[in-house]
Amino acid sequence: MNAAAMNASPAYDVDAIREQFPILRRRVYGKPLVYLDNAASAQKPRAVIDRMTDAMTRSYANVHRGLHCLSNEATAAFEEARRSVARFVNAPSPDEIVFTSGGTDAFNLVAYSLGAAGIGPGDEIVLSVMEHHSNIVPWHILRERMGVVLRWIDATDDGLIDPDAFEAAFSPRTKLAAVTHMSNVMGAPTDARELARIAHAHGAKILFDGCQAGVHGKIDVQAIDADFYVLTAHKLYGPSGVGALYGKSDALAAMPPFRGGGEMIDIVEKDRVTYNDPPHRFEAGTPPIVEAIGFGAAVEWMMNVGVEAIAAHEAILAEKALVELGALDFVTIYGRAANKAPIICFNVAGAHPHDVSSIVDRAGVAIRAGHHCAQPLMKRLGVTATCRASFGAYNSEDDVAALVEGLQKTHDLLG
């Protein structure tokens, strides 16, 4: 059993947690919902739903632009959400938190702004084969349009990045490393602090994809010395349509804006324009106001429950699932790293992942099937697709049992 599971608090009441998620009262095909697709998107607690409803029914107005009561209230709630996200990742200042439309938007922001700031032909960006497509395609666009070179590093069979292999990918032309803090397929934690040390020793910046890591453990951007860190709210028990980019203040100050419009400007005249300071420089137009408020409510909910308590509970579920799925001789599991998150990718012998997902869905068990927006990693694993079961704060050991039972029935049906 891993350390997080051993340190799990007996006070963690999963039944009380489940009561806070209205959707878990649903039945699917006449069966109780067992939701194990959290790595794709998590369900929302009442605290988030109520906070967003309150924002829409009592205090909705555009932010930053008005002087009337509702605008002041909406602005205060919006900026309090920024402060909540800053606390969640231990950013030195809320001004280092840029609200985006999600993780994908954050990656594109950095890619576009760094490209405009001077990355050019022959400059290099280091990526791992485990990256989500959202942390691959923006860099390919720089490759196509500007001649940037992508340097790829492998991962171990358990989804770990070897620091020596990582360092070997650097050269005097390396400008940035963009790597996952936790693979959405393998669930293994990346040694972020060591990778940041290596990148900085070579004069490069480092960006971490925290869209999975952010929900499965405590994040401290100062401790890992990240230059950029990406989050998306919908995996953090918050709404879709909003995410956040953490950036060191000096890094953000050196970057030109990503989009033009309102809010991101200082002065606009016929023959010139000057830009606002970060973070507003990167938040053109009317932001996702209600969604950002919901994002703040979601991370406050996680911090109130206890990020480490949630992680310890999830570690127990991951351990149990790995043991019980591992006992099924028709199941192949991909990745068994120590302290891995409750993200388990597997295949069932003789069955396509899409068929497996469809069959267990009829038993009320929701899992993901496909390449998980990680085609380079699928190629590395020698498969075209996998099934993925991913657990969250509200899942229970009964959910593990339901998954195992569903897989056994699937094998009996298709085998």
The one catalytic residue in 69, 211, 345, 373 is 373
Gap between the Cα atoms of 137 and 37, Å rounded? 24
Does 387 qualify as catalytic in the annotation? no
Burial of 298 (0-12, 13-18, 19+ CB in 10 A): buried
Active site residues: 373
